[in-house]
Structure 1
Amino acid sequence: MLSIRRSTSAFVAVAIGVMLVSVATLLLASGRPQVPDRLARAAVVVQSPEAGTSADNFAPTRPWSAATAADLVGRLGGLPGVAAAVPDRTFYAQPLVDGRPPATDTRREDAHQGHGWSSAQLGGLRLTAGEPPRTAGEVVVDSALGLPTGAPVTLLTAAGPAPYTVTGLVDAPGVHVADEVAAALAPGVRAIGLVLAPGADADRVAAAAGGVVGADGQVLTADARGALEPRNDARTRWIGMQVLTATAALAGFVTVFVVASTFAFTVAQRRRELGLLRAVGATARQVRRAVYVEALVVGASAGLVGLLVGAALAPVLGRLLVDVGFEPSTFRVRYEAWPVALALVAGPVIALLAVWSASRRAARVRPMEALREAAVEQRPMGRLRIATGALLVAAGVALSVGTATADEARVAAQYALYAVMALVAGATVLAPAVVGPVVRLLRFPVRRSGGAIGMLVRGGALTATRRTASTAAPVLLTVAFAVLVSGMVRTTTAAYAAGRADNVNAGWIVVPDRSPGLSDQAVVATGGTALLPTTVFRTDPGTGPADRPLTALGVDPAGFTAANRALTVVAGSLDDLRGDDTVVLTASANLRPSDSYAVVFADGALVSLRVVAVVTDDSLPGDLLLPRAVVRTHDPSALTSTVFVRDRIAAPAGARIVDVATWAAEADAAEDRLVWLFTLLLIGVSAGYGAIAVANTVLLAAAGRAADLRLIRLAGATRRQAIWLVTAESAVVVLIGALLGGGVAFVGLLSIRAGLAEQVGAPVDLVVPWSVIGGVLGLCLLLAALASLLPTWRLLRHRPGRSPVGLVG
């Protein structure tokens, strides 16, 4: 019963799906956190306490104060087997080249980080030239900068540019200064590395270190030291995991969808063959089992091919993920057992899931079907299929309502994706019932422009609605996902940019240029209103530290009030935000003016603050406000993120000036870039897969039309008319799929727009991605036309009266 020609479409679909799943899972298995190079020689690392939950899953740990760190260093250094206990201090420092920061990769935190020289031993760093820094004003830099020892260099720090002298060179990014300078620039400590004596047992040292630090930290060894990787690398790795997970999930869904459509189409073409089997005594169970065996053979063989291709492509795609920013520079592909096992199982499982409905339909074929020559479908849609389709559509509508009422954009996006999945599945199940009305709507233009050919196209679509629906299913899926994902991203980006711009009362905005932030000297040069962010940790003196990380903004209250249109004071006054112990909170903190509020700052100091005002939650681009001087006192390495100015000015070193609209569009530029790349990846998976499925199903349909084309030629149709008939049928099928897919996506986009309007508190324009729609639709039309023309041209090479062997069926 197994036919190679008829199984090719399903084989290709399963192979591609398994290839995508195997690549995604191999890359996922390789995405473990990496031990930073600068800590690689520290077999044991003691880390400060982890922060609690927050909106930022990559918040730093709560730092130890300088006094606590010094005490721990002394006690840890005295443990048996420990040669040295070295505090790892990290602060912002960036060499200037020709008065500007060098054009390094700003995604790499180590490109603009400074450390104390003693921490160099934690990574086994050695001088390639010169001497270590011993006093203030001396620095060791990366040899890639091309500076010789003894040369002057300007370091840009949080305070501003400062002159230094190069005393040594190393082959590593970042800069190293004297330990005393590092202690002043980074008083808080988050990690202490232990360099072990030769022959010391790391596990015993780790156990002893755990007894020293107790609950005020955690001891890391071996691969667990990967928790110390830079926050940017951790965030990038997390983004990559989301991309790969979504790709694997979409690949699995699309594969089942496409293969199910392919098997359904194949069963519809083989009704006479199945009827003959029933006529010679085959039971319904035997027919169903035969279909399952065919699917199992196709799934197993295609799964093996997909796994081999995916394993070969994984390193190439891994490097591509690093280049585009979905994985950190430390990412390396590793081959592990579970992705291989999953890929081997995925092929047969996907094929069996996809063929379930087709096997039931095959088992219902009656023996009399073998005697029928007509291709007219005899049986309407069953009640179970109608009920299933109605339930899927209802689920999609319910999820769309959830999208429109979601409080967070992330939750709304998830609901929207699930809604479209449900609606796509529902529309596919109910498509035979929809094909007729859609074709009747097209009756006038088809008849008028196509004459007899148009009438044949319309008649064929109406009498073979299941075949038409099965062929249109890949187009429906392709268009729906492409339109939804691209429209969702564009609409969301535009909505948040507009809302961000509306909240700002300024003429121009100064932003960093080739650096992660602005120095104090640059802020003074602008004369504007600056935002100085830092991370603090919420504590409750009565119950002990809760270590909940929060984003605090150091501001001048008068300037901030003037520049922020969204600011709404619920209680108290921002004018009282002055001194060393005041704070402004949002209403979600559930505190009132005069209440106390204890936090731990970046230097590890625990300070009890006094609430002077409460504002609405949407008033701040953070969690709380502090006087700028307080932030600078406790976080010497904090950098200004934004400065609002009235008039255009000359940008200082490490900065550039942009208008409000540009700033609003660029505020999340790096994230928007990754989101759009992610969007293109999902569109590429769904559209590429859908296009292949369209070509496969149309190719099967056209190859099975030998008898029809022979009758048309005998009736007097020319070769050109026959080709036009097949091409028009393909175009109608693509149009039906595009209309259904576009309608599904439009429902999802409307719900997303409603949800965004609720979140930003203003009307949101729906951005329709016409270029994406045109590209996807054009690709489907092109492949459908080619897939129908090639077998038709081969069939029409013979005279109408002849029936060459192998052309029929």
Structure 2
Amino acid sequence: MFRTALRNVLAHKARLLMTVLAVMLGVAFVSGTLVFTNTISQAYQQSSAKGLDHVDVAVKPERGEGDGAKPGAAPKLTQDLLDKAANVPGAASATGTVSGFAAIADKDGKLVGEGWSTTGANYYAGKDGKDPRYPMKDGRAPADKGEIALDAKTAERAGFKIGDTVRMSIDGPVLTPKVSGIFTTDDGNVAAGGSLALFDTKTAQSLYAKPGQFSEIDVQAAAGTSQAALKTEIEKVLPKGTAEATTGKQLADEQAEQIAGSMSGMQTGMLVFAGISLFVGIFIIANTFTMLVAQRTKELALMRAVGASRRQVTRSVLLEAFVVGTVAAVAGLAAGVGIGAGLRSLMGSFGGAVPDGPLVVSPSTVLASLVVGIVVTMLAAWLPGRRAAKIPPVAAMNSVHAAATTKSLVVRNTIGALFAAAGTAGVLAGVGMGSDGKMPMSLGAGLLLIGVFVLTPLLSRPIIALASPVLKLFGISGKLARQNAVRNPRRTSATASALMIGLTLITGMTVIAGSFQKAIDKMATDSLKADYVVSMQNFNTLSPDVEKKLQKIDGVTATSPLRNSPSRIDGKSEYLTGVDARTIGDLATLDFKQGSWDGLGGHKVVVDADTAEQFGWKAGSGFTVTYEDGKKGTLQVAGVYQGNEMLRGIMLDKDELAPHQAEISDMQVMVKTSDGATASAKDSIRTALGDNPAIAVEDKKDISDGIAQMFTLMLNMLYGLLAMAVIVAVLGVINTLAMSVFERSQEIGMLRAIGLDRKGIKRMVRMESLVISLFGGVLGIGLGVFFGWAAGELIGASVGTYEMVLPWGRMGLFLALAAVVGVLAALWPARRAARLNMLSAIKAE
């Protein structure tokens, strides 16, 4: 049986090629994802660990816990504590660090670095006048507030040299220091494409903390002192409840865990699409083995007649699948290593630099690739093998087994109907449950997808029949194509289902993204009366000086900041949002359920409906709040409004909030001008703010376009990933048609003999392929719209402006894509059918 299985594999090399390709693509996606994410993760971990070479123990501020704790920022570390840490037994040196956001503009005025990774820090000179973390490559360390040092990669990218003036921003106002030095660093953020600017310690403290304060103290151990022993000594000098010590090894482990966690989201997302490709591939594999087994029915029957048992027949089919799966898995693993390397290079070409490191092909990646390829192939081949073994030898040799029994079709349709009904009920139940309906909706969507797949043989006849009027235009070729498409409903459904799954996902995501984009547009239009919103490019906080500059611009009629401050209410953490009570009504429109903007001011606040419901508040309710400075106060609800994604929470007058804030900073500033949103007004604002690269000045259209760009990027990524499933589906159509042509060799030879020319044969195969592909496309788009509507209902529960928008143009494009898939997939099978020798084909068995 083993020799027979191997002989069968080698005898059908061409027929099994498509199956190998389908499995290989899925495995390549899995292995490529694992190689890519493992490589990136290890590169960042090694870079981070290298950056901690000079840190044996790190001292950081400790935030208090519990209901009585102050809600504000954790306390900073003092110079006195730094001196004590440097003098504990076993300490060789201690370094005080302070850091924060620093946006640097290149010579063209564009932001250098990757947003969150644009960092500023202090150069802490030791006894020898040098900071071992930042060896100078050129020039010297910064000495006063008019100087900075830049990392070598940023200086190279932006074209800066010693003595150049740099335009930069910390929290809004533009700074113009000169470059005093260029240094090298092992900082992982810099290696990944970010930027690092160093100030002298005094300047850095004035920018990011307070004079004499640090955000972290790094201590290096003397020779012969362990990290644990040094930590013990340092803990003896730490003020209780103010600071905590952590060993360098713990920090490295924590960073490695954080990096692995950040990579896991990307890895999971990519593996989901790999799973979709493999799931689609299952249909192709099952189709292939079903047809191969059908073609060898008499051979298998003869084996049964001469003594082979049912288990031996099933095992022989599974052995073929094992060989095919192994070959596909090995090829997929090799292709995946190439994909992983390519993705890393591609990431670099898009500006997302990656720290240097080797390509990581771990044993788990190799094992996962082999297991996935072999198991998926064998699972898909098991049912055809089992079905073949159950056919009685005499019946098989007489071919009376060919047609599916009425009983089997009734059972299949009944099961499919039950799954579809249960799935539809689950989806509708999820819709009715609002934000709590995610689980039943997800389960229902899965059941409905399975149900439709099981029912596709039943659905194929009536849906394909709708194409009859069009097919008749192509004469006898069109008529034969329709009959061939419904001749074997199971095969047609399996082929169409592969395409259906990909288009379901693509359509559903397009409907959700388009509808959500429309909701954001409507929200921006309805809730913002302001002409512009000014904010930091990286969503950091703005200096209050920015609003002062905006108020002095000619034509600006009203401004209001949005500034957040942590607080505690009834033992729960809540953010207070400070606004200008005098002007906020001119800048924002909200749907008030009780009260209005007019009541805002002093100790009176307005709250969104969700927060009011959470605490049981209504207009006139009073409550006690603990501010970030630890002081308590009493506030009164003057209005309750319907919150949205742009405005929500507890709003109070900024003058009431300011005395309790240690550092006043704005998340954004809303601006209204006398002439409305015009190009000249935007230019005036930008000029007044010093053409700062770190500050974004956006009108309603800019806000909408920014969100649209984000959705477009996300959709394009999803389309690219789902393209793998579509490619696999194309292979399935080619595979089905090729085997169908082989099975119908006699029939095609007879058609040629009675007068159907080669063009007619080609047209017949192409029409059959087109009908099958469009059948899958119609089902996929229909299911995608349904799932998009259902998911949108969940989104609508939290986004009041959400309403479903059907992307008719995109859906038409998807249907056209399905047609193109059908035409392209038929090229080779149609050519093969047309070139069959009619006499040889008629004599074929």
TM-score, normalised relative to structure 2: 0.80
Matched residues in 1 for 2:18 and 2:531: separation?
59
What amino acid does structure 2 have at the position aligned with 1:371? N
Q: Secondary structure at the match of 1:219?
A: strand
Indicate which of 199, 206, 210 corresponds to 1:184: 206
Could you say if the C-alpha distance between residues 245 and 722 of structure 1 is closer, same or farther in structure 2, counting changes exceeding 3 Å? closer
> What residue in structure 2 maps to residue 115 of structure 1?
121
Aligned-partner SS, 2:182: strand
Look up the match of 1:597: 625
> Quick one: which amino acid aligns to residue 651 of structure 1?
I
**Gap runs ≥5 in structure 2:** 186-194, 552-557
What amino acid is aligned across from residue 20 of structure 2 in structure 1? F
Return closer, same or farther for 1:726/1:398 CA change in 2, 3 Å cut-off. same
The answer to whether the aligner puts 1:651 opposite 2:673 as a matched pair is no
Of 309, 334, 342, which aligns to 2:360? 334
Distance 1:394 1:48 in 2: 57
The residue number in structure 2 matching 1:64 is 74
2:135 corresponding residue in structure 1: 126
Which moved further from structure 2: 122-131 or 689-698?
Answer: 122-131
Match of 2:726 among 681, 687, 699: 687
Contact 2:567–2:625 under 8 Å retained in 1: no
- When residues 355 and 72 of structure 1 are mapped into structure 2, their CA distance, relative to the original with a 3 A threshold, is farther
Deviation at 1:690, TM superposition (A): 1.7
Residues in 1 aligned to 2:250 and 2:361: alpha-carbon distance in whole angstroms? 17
Q: Which of 765, 778, 782 is equivalent to 1:726?
A: 765
State the Cα distance separating 1:773 from its structure 2 match: 0.4
Q: 1:438 to 1:110 in 2, by over 3 A?
A: closer
**Residues 375 and 572 (structure 1 numbering): CA distance in 2 closer, same or farther, change over 3 Å?**
closer
Is the partner of 2:839 in helix, strand or coil?
coil
* Contact 1:710 1:801 (C-alpha < 8 Å) held by counterparts: yes
1:263 to 2:289 alignment: yes
- Greater Cα offset, 181-190 or 334-343: 181-190
CA distance, structure 1, for counterparts of residue 765 and residue 222 of structure 2: 80
Question: What is aligned with 2:832?
Answer: 791
Q: Which secondary structure does the structure 2 equivalent of 1:801 belong to?
A: helix
Look up the match of 1:381: 408
Q: CA deviation at 1:175?
A: 2.0
Aligned counterpart, 1:15: 24
Alignment partners' CA distance in 2, 1:49 and 1:319: 41
Q: Deviations over 1:64-92 (max 9, x none)?
A: 313x5556545543433333333432233
> Shift in Å at residue 220 of structure 1?
4.8
Determine the C-alpha separation between the residues in 1 that align with 2:376 and 2:547.
59
Q: Do the aligned residues in 1 keep the contact of 2:544 with 2:664 (CA within 8 Å)?
A: no
The amino acid across from 2:180 in the alignment is: T
Of 139, 150, 162, the match for 2:148? 139
Aligned partner of residue 363 in structure 1, secondary structure: helix
| Alignment equivalent of 1:371, drawn from 398, 423, 426 | 398
Per-residue Cα deviation, 1:494-538 (whole angstroms, up to 9, x for no partner): 333333432212334445569966554443333343444557475
Deviations 1:727-779 (A, max 9, x none): 22112211222222222222212213333333322433233423650453144
The equivalent residue for 1:56 is none
Equivalences, count: 777
Could you tell me which residue of structure 1 aligns to residue 498 of structure 2? 474
Moved more, 645-654 or 582-591: 582-591
Match of 1:57 in 2: none
Q: Is it true that 1:317 corresponds to 2:324 in the alignment?
A: no
- Mapping of 1:136-175 within 5 angstroms? 136-142=145-151, 143-144=155-156, 145-149=158-162, 152-158=165-171, 160-171=173-184, 173-175=195-197
Which of 465, 469, 474 matches 1:450? 474
Which of 218, 226, 249 is the aligned partner of 2:275? 249
Contact 2:423 2:446 in 1 (8 A): yes
The offset of 1:22, in angstroms, is 1.2
Q: CA deviation at 1:93?
A: 3.0
Q: Is the 8 A contact 2:282 2:376 kept in 1?
A: yes
Q: 1:44 and 2:57 equivalent?
A: yes
Question: 1:104 and 2:112 equivalent?
Answer: yes
Amino acid of the residue matched to residue 757 of structure 1? G
Map 1:762-801; keep pairs closer than 5 Å: 762=801, 763-768=803-808, 769-770=810-811, 772-774=813-815, 776-795=817-836, 798=837, 800-801=838-839
Preserved contact between residue 284 and residue 735 of structure 2 (Cα < 8 Å): no
| 1:340–1:462 CA distance, 2 compared to 1 (3 A) | closer
Distance 1:297 1:230, change over 3 A: closer
Matched residue SS, 2:100: strand
Shift of 1:723: 1.8
Which residue number in structure 1 is paired with residue 191 of structure 2?
none
Structure 1 residues 780-809: Cα deviation after superposition (integer angstroms, max 9, x where no partner): 1233221422321332xx2x223499xx57
Residue by residue over 1:288-343, the C-alpha shift from the partner in whole angstroms, topping out at 9 and shown as x without a partner, is 22222222222222112211221232122133346558997689753322222211
Is 1:555 matched up with 2:565? Answer: no
Q: Aligned-pair distance for 1:464?
A: 2.0
Compute the displacement of 1:591 (Å): 6.8
Match of 1:464 in 2: 488
2:417 corresponding residue in structure 1: 390
User: Unmatched 5+ residue regions in structure 1?
Assistant: 54-60
The yes-or-no answer on 1:431 pairing with 2:456 is yes
Q: Are 2:418 and 1:401 equivalent residues in the alignment?
A: no
Structure-1 separation of matches of 2:508 and 2:791: 10
1:615-626 to structure 2, matched below 5 A, reads 615-616=640-641, 618=643, 621=647, 623-625=649-651
Q: Pick the aligned partner of 2:794 from 735, 755, 759.
A: 755
1:360 is matched with 386
Q: Contact 2:140–2:180 (CA<8 Å) still a contact in 1?
A: yes
- Does residue 711 in structure 1 map to residue 754 in structure 2? no
Asked if structure 2 preserves the Cα contact closer than 8 Å seen for 1:511 and 1:641, the reply is: yes
For the 8 Å contact 1:126–1:170, the answer to whether it is kept is yes
Partner of 2:38: 29
CA contact (8 A) 2:601 2:653 kept: yes
* Matched position secondary structure for 1:193: strand
Distance in 1 between the 2:613 and 2:80 partners?
38
Q: Partner amino acid for 1:529?
A: T
Q: Which moved more, 1:726-735 or 1:138-147?
A: 138-147
Q: CA deviation at 1:483?
A: 1.9
Indicate how the Cα distance of structure 1 residues 471 and 776 shifts in structure 2: closer, same or farther if over 3 A, else same: same
**Which amino acid counterpart does residue 789 of structure 2 have in structure 1?**
L
